[in-house]
Amino acid sequence: MSYYKKSFLKLLDFTSEEIATHLKVAKNLKAEKKSGVSHRVLEGKNIALVFEKTSTRTRCAFEVAGSDLGMHPVYLDPKSSQIGKKESIEDTARVLGRMFDGIEYRGYGQEIVQKLSDYSGVPVWNGLTNEYHPTQILADLLTIQEHLGELKGKTLVFMGDCRYNMANSLMVGCAKMGMNFVASSNKKYFPNDELTSICKEIAKETGATITFEEDPIKAVKGADVIYTDVWVSMGEDPSVWDERIKDLLPYQVNKTLMESTGKETTKFMHCLPAFHDLKTEIGKDIYDRYGLTAMEVADDVFESEASIVFDEAENRMHTIKAVMLCSLVEDISRWAK
């Protein structure tokens, strides 16, 4: 298979079949873990986890998945390493490539994770860049399969900031898997033209559709999944909150929106972390400044039966395990059936 020894940088680099195989492998690894079957097939290998931005899920998923596979994970954050300040990405890549069998990277531009892969000589896994969050999408697709069955033909509506890593990657994931992707936002936040035309080309092959809709109520008609993400992403200047709240509040996922799909089975999804209450520092600060008790998702939707956000979070671990396994194990037939 072409993903053996290959980096996992963005979903555009993989065929629909390869994405489907990753999901199958993840499903089987999950079943093995649940029934206590060990899969320490990468014993003796070492992986570096480089985080230039903060993380709960992605870091824990890589650490737990790595350990479950028998590997030793080493966590590096920019404050306690030389990365960027005293040593270039090219040099860091060549050093890490001499010691580790694989490298996870979370940070800023997609070109950084690409460079790490080009220079290290070992598989590199994208744990989030400004442009893409591909391991999150695998978890999302697995979760949709578990709750709604086949992916093909399902409609996913993304509300809010549709021009950042989450919406970009979901648009690619939906196009690849023959799903209908709807981006709903103020025009300023629609995905960029270049990526949109690439996805529309893919969609022609897979039967997917890609549409943008400014009216949130129209957008969610027929939605199988309503998905949202934070309005200000990591690394963005906090001064943009003012404008984002003004522009994106009409796209908040609340009860009215969930009830406008015309379907009783619509699920709510979010990559997390989410601002749905006042139990966070930023949530409290936004409440003090704007009087909002929730942002991209109302608390009663987040906590509702329709919300499958914690299944998604768990699936980060199983899918990340599948990504590492597929790039480090030559014969994956045990899990790919």
Q: Which residues are part of the catalytic machinery? A: 106, 133, 136, 229, 271, 316
> Please, what's the b/e burial string for 55-93 (b: 16 or more CB within 10 A of its CB; e: otherwise)?
bebbbebbbbbbebbebebbbbbeeebebeeeeebeebb
* Shortest separation between residue 19's beta carbon and ligand CP, angstroms: 18
> Residue 97's CB: how many other CB atoms inside 10 A?
19
Which amino acid does the sequence have at 169? S
The token pair that represents 213 in the structure block: 């809709």
Instruction: Out of 26, 151, 156, 271, name the contact with ligand CP by CB under 6 A.
Output: 271
* Shortest separation between residue 56's beta carbon and ligand CP, angstroms: 4
* Shortest separation between residue 55's beta carbon and ligand CP, angstroms: 3
Do 134 and 10 contact (CB within 8 A), yes or no? yes
By CB under 6 A, residue 229 contacts ligand NVA: yes
By CB under 6 A, residue 136 contacts ligand CP: yes
Determine the Cα–Cα distance for residues 22 and 277; give it in Å rounded to an integer. Answer: 34
List strands edge to edge, sheet with 180-184.
Answer: 209-213, 180-184, 155-159, 225-228, 267-270
Residues 152-181 that bind ligand CP (CB under 6 A): none
By CB under 6 A, residue 48 contacts ligand NVA: no
How far lies 140's CA from each of 166, 173, 269, in Å?
Answer: 11, 9, 8
56 binds, options ligand CP, ligand NVA, none, Cβ within 5 to 8 A by partner type: ligand CP
Determine the Cα–Cα distance for residues 256 and 253; give it in Å rounded to an integer. Answer: 8
Which residue, 186 or 233, is less far from ligand CP as judged by CB? 233
Which residue, 100 or 132, is less far from ligand CP as judged by CB? 132
> Residue 323's CB: how many other CB atoms inside 10 A?
26
By CB under 6 A, residue 225 contacts ligand NVA: no
* Shortest separation between residue 11's beta carbon and ligand NVA, angstroms: 16
- The site string for ligand CP over 225-264 (x = CB under 6 A, - otherwise) reads ----------------------------------------
Which residue, 271 or 295, is less far from ligand CP as judged by CB? 271
By CB under 6 A, residue 271 contacts ligand NVA: yes
Helix residue ranges, H only, the chain? 16-34, 57-68, 89-99, 110-120, 134-148, 165-176, 193-206, 216-219, 241-248, 255-258, 281-290, 299-302, 309-328
Residue 162: burial class (beta carbons within 10 Å; 0-12, 13-18, 19+): buried
Which residue, 142 or 210, is less far from ligand CP as judged by CB? 142
By CB under 6 A, residue 233 contacts ligand NVA: yes
* Shortest separation between residue 214's beta carbon and ligand CP, angstroms: 27
By CB under 6 A, residue 315 contacts ligand CP: no
Residues 49-68 that bind ligand CP (CB under 6 A): 55-58
308 binds, options ligand NVA, ligand CP, none, Cβ within 5 to 8 A by partner type: none
Residues 94-153 that bind ligand NVA (CB under 6 A): 128, 133
Determine the Cα–Cα distance for residues 118 and 298; give it in Å rounded to an integer. Answer: 43
Determine the Cα–Cα distance for residues 40 and 136; give it in Å rounded to an integer. Answer: 23
* Shortest separation between residue 234's beta carbon and ligand NVA, angstroms: 4
Residues 274-313 that bind ligand CP (CB under 6 A): none
Determine the Cα–Cα distance for residues 213 and 183; give it in Å rounded to an integer. Answer: 6
3-state secondary structure of 179: coil
Residues forming contacts to ligand NVA in the complex (CB under 6 A) are: 128, 133, 164-166, 229-230, 233-234, 271
Residues forming contacts to ligand CP in the complex (CB under 6 A) are: 55-58, 128, 136, 271-272
